[in-house]
Amino acid sequence: MRGIFVICGIEMDAPVKTLFTNANLVLDGFGHLQKSFEVLVAGNRIASVSNTPLAREGARVIDVGGGTLMPGLIDAHAHITGLSLSPRNSKYPAQQIAEASAHYLKASLTDGFTSLREAGGADHTVARLLNEGNLIGPRLFYSGRALTQTGGGADFRTPDEVTDSCGQPGPFSVMSVIADGIDQVRRAAREELRRGASQIKVFASGGVVFPSEAHATLYEYSMDELRAIVEEANARGTYVMAHAYTDDAVRRCLDAGVRSIEHANFVGEATVERMARTGAFLDPTFISLVQRIESAPEAGLSPAIVNNLKATVARGHQVYRWAKRYGVPIAMGTDLWGPEAQHCQIREFAMRIDLDEAANIVRSATRINADLLNQTGNLGVVAEGAYADLLVVDGDPLADVRVLTNPRQNLKLIMKDGIIYKDEL
């Protein structure tokens, strides 16, 4: 049985079995490439990984030519439903938002991201279209609408606005829902989980790009509200990811049992050490801040906000160093908003070159992100039984991670779920 798949106008033939030969592998646990391996893909899974020849019968044989065969990349913090820098997108029609999402997904896969954790905005419709093959893009682990309190980090109303265009106290964005009080947050979390959310996203502090025009928050949601949200996620066998910049916010999240801390740029060393003890993940998302600094003139960001962004990046670097010291699992996320910003997605690798070894950076975008997504052994590794999400790269990313930042030149093959979407070998 064979199928035809199309990307960038090119028909791709997908056999039941694919055998990669003469491949240098990125294998988990090694800081350097493992030479001269063969990898057999059967259907959408990796059937065998061997440094001796494997049977060729019935398989399409692809000679990697000594190139690097590695797991597909995972972005642990994406937003696909934006049309501009601002998450406030209520003025855009649904069709335009859908088209932007489709563009974001396809471009992400073309850059080598075979999985995305969507952090607010995408829903079951997008996931279903991807699963049915009507959209081309990465695997999608979506949060649905992020939970925010009245006046919280994802309540984008101005002081003069009370209700949205439908007369409801909405946040003026498809990425979030306003919920206050234990009963409301339980209901909101249950609704997103009912609609298939892979995890729950909550705003636990204010933002640094679009701070409140009233009083910026050190933390958001009461402890009882946070615990209720975590309890609802746990009841469905999943977890909570929290937008949290401040030390107060992160400590409260850890007290409540939040598993994934997004940003955390202004936490102290003691809080980072506590993250390590509780097993929480850190997702720094540097490129989103840098991209906003670079695009500040076009976006109309004030000098005060630009200076705040620069300080946020600098503090985030220190937090990253503490996280390395204490062994906090460091994820790879981008937090970019809008189709123009998506072009910077692959640049998150370059943001970390001065902070970490290349092998650790690659591990963040593969195995550690897979662990975060509760996909240990399924994603982020070249191993028997894992999903066949694979890349062939010209160069050695474990020696120089910058080879991943130029996918047009260096990314020679993209396979997701056993289907080849790009082949320039």
pTM: 0.93
CA dihedral 347, 290, 296, 342 (to 10 degrees): 30
- Whether residues 391 and 316 fall in one domain: no
- Whether residues 310 and 400 fall in one domain: no
Q: Residue 120 sits in a domain of what CATH number?
A: 3.20.20.140
- Whether residues 91 and 47 fall in one domain: no
Q: How many domains does the chain have?
A: 2
DSSP E strands: which ranges in 100-199?
Answer: 113-118, 139-142, 146-148, 176-178
- Whether residues 291 and 389 fall in one domain: no
Q: What is the pLDDT of residues 78-98, one digit of tens each?
A: 999 887 666 777 677 778 888
- Whether residues 210 and 348 fall in one domain: yes
Q: For residue 37, what are the domain limits?
A: 3-72+381-423
- Whether residues 302 and 415 fall in one domain: no
Instruction: Identify the residue whose tokens are 């998302």.
Output: 285
For residues 143 and 199, is the Cβ–Cβ distance under 8 A?
A: yes
For residues 337 and 82, is the Cβ–Cβ distance under 8 A?
A: yes
- Whether residues 209 and 137 fall in one domain: yes
Q: What is the pLDDT of residues 30-68, one digit of tens each?
A: 889 999 999 999 999 999 999 999 999 999 999 999 999
Give the pair of three-digit tokens for residue 152: 């919280």
Q: What is the pLDDT of residues 225-277, one digit of tens each?
A: 999 999 999 999 999 999 999 999 999 999 999 999 999 999 999 999 999 99
- Whether residues 58 and 92 fall in one domain: no
Reference 63, options 105, 23, 96, 26; nearest CA is 23
> In the chain, which residues have pLDDT < 50?
1-6, 8-11, 212, 214
